[in-house]
Amino acid sequence: MSFTTEIKNEICSNDFSKLENICMLSAFVRNNASYNNENIIILSENPKVVRKIFTIFKDLYDINPVIVQGKSNNFNKKSYYNIIIHEKIDLILKDLMVFDEDGKYLSVPKSYFLDGEDLKRAYLRGLFLAKGSVNDPKKSRYHLEFLIDNKLEAYLIVDILKEFDISAKVIVRDKGYMTYVKEAEKIGDFLRIVSANNAILYYEDIRIYRDHKNMTNRLNNCEQANVDKIISASEKQIEDINLIEEKIGLDAVSEKIKDVIIYRKKYPEVSLSELSYIISKETDQDISKSGLNHRFRKIHELADKLRD
């Protein structure tokens, strides 16, 4: 079972108020139904979604929709279900804000229809049941999307999500528009909004684990980069030292420079901080990292002169 299916099943297991059910049903019908004067036909592959939508229709409008099961023609031969409604078509489509009182199609519901946070949450639930999907955080990148036919509807969802501090974008697809969210934290917020509490626990556990793993990898990469930087600097210092020994010998340099040369050759793999600590401990002469760096600059300048 996919993560998206688990979320939809959880949403369907919850009970909501009459107004919430109307808004949820409105989003579902507006985005996943065909209709005319004779019937409304709704298609879904999820049996729990079908039962939920069937029950809401029956309770709200005192009707008995017909459920017809079939098999898809594609390779996986998945079952699908049609909910067919023959009764009170005009009443239902106007009540769900698909048409206005004059029978004209509404590209988006009127503003008062979603007047309230709970009603906006309900509308998002209905849309997700109809056209939503979330990638399993265990298997792929964080991604929440809705595939929507109507451009105005796609941007309505952007506006609703923005009210919950969730930033969404819209891109054009071959068959409609995709409203999507990429931020991991905001996808978790969306699951909370649609009341998918079990899904939130699963999602956040995986997200925290992945974030921790990524942080560990970044720290390891930084550590490796530091090691590579230390080795590279040490190799250049050894190269300068070898040149000085070959051309003029260590007796030609000061005692302070000679001490640094001896200890760098003895400990070629350590950082400047570590080398300054070693020299200070073994010679009883305190030398800071900056002081050590200053002496290595003197060594490099001398080596450059010898190269010239």
Residue 205 falls inside a structural domain: no
Q: 171 vs 103, which has greater pLDDT?
A: 171
Report the pLDDT value the prediction gives residue 61, as an integer from 0 to 100: 92
Instruction: Give me the mean pLDDT over the 58-87 stretch.
Output: 82
Instruction: Give me the mean pLDDT over the 184-197 stretch.
Output: 92
Contact 146, 190 (CB under 8 A): no
Q: Which CATH number does the domain housing residue 73 bear? A: 3.10.28.10
Does one domain contain both 266 and 299? yes
Does one domain contain both 240 and 121? no
Does one domain contain both 170 and 261? no
Does one domain contain both 166 and 223? no
Q: What angle (nearest 5°) sits at the alpha carbon of residue 294, between those of residues 292 and 300?
A: 105
Contact 12, 51 (CB under 8 A): yes
Residue 202 falls inside a structural domain: no
Report the pLDDT value the prediction gives residue 77, as an integer from 0 to 100: 62
Does one domain contain both 153 and 228? no
Domains contained in the chain, number: 2
Q: 226 vs 164, which has greater pLDDT?
A: 164
Identify the domain containing residue 36 by its residue range.
3-195
Report the pLDDT value the prediction gives residue 74, as an integer from 0 to 100: 59
pTM for this one? 0.70
Q: 222 vs 82, which has greater pLDDT?
A: 82
From 195, 226, 254, the end of a domain falls on 195
* Residue 73 binned pLDDT confidence (cut-offs 50, 70, 90): low
Distance of alpha carbon 269 from alpha carbon 266, whole angstroms: 9
* Mean pLDDT of the residues in the chain: 87
Does one domain contain both 34 and 169? yes
Report the pLDDT value the prediction gives residue 284, as an integer from 0 to 100: 80
Does one domain contain both 170 and 126? yes
Does one domain contain both 178 and 220? no
User: How does pLDDT run across 13-24, given as a tens digit for each residue?
Assistant: 999 999 999 999
What is the DSSP secondary-structure string of the chain?
--HHHHHHHHHHHS---HHHHHHHHHHHHHHHEEE-SS-EEEEES-HHHHHHHHHHHHHHH----EEEEEE-SSTT--EEEEEEE-SSHHHHHHHTTSB-TTS-B-SS--GGGG-SHHHHHHHHHHHHHHHEEE--TTTS---EEEEES-HHHHHHHHHHHHHTT---EEEEETTEEEEEE--HHHHHHHHHHTT-HHHHHHHHHHHHHHHHHHHHHHHHHHHHHHHHHHHHHHHHHHHHHHHHHHHT-GGGS-HHHHHHHHHHHH-TTS-HHHHHHHHHHHHS----HHHHHHHHHHHHHHHHHHH-
Residue 204 falls inside a structural domain: no
- For the chain, percent of residues with pLDDT exceeding 90: 43
Residue 203 falls inside a structural domain: no
Distance of alpha carbon 113 from alpha carbon 108, whole angstroms: 10
Retrieve residue 236's tokens.
């250049």
Check pLDDT > 90 for residue 54. yes
Report the pLDDT value the prediction gives residue 45, as an integer from 0 to 100: 87
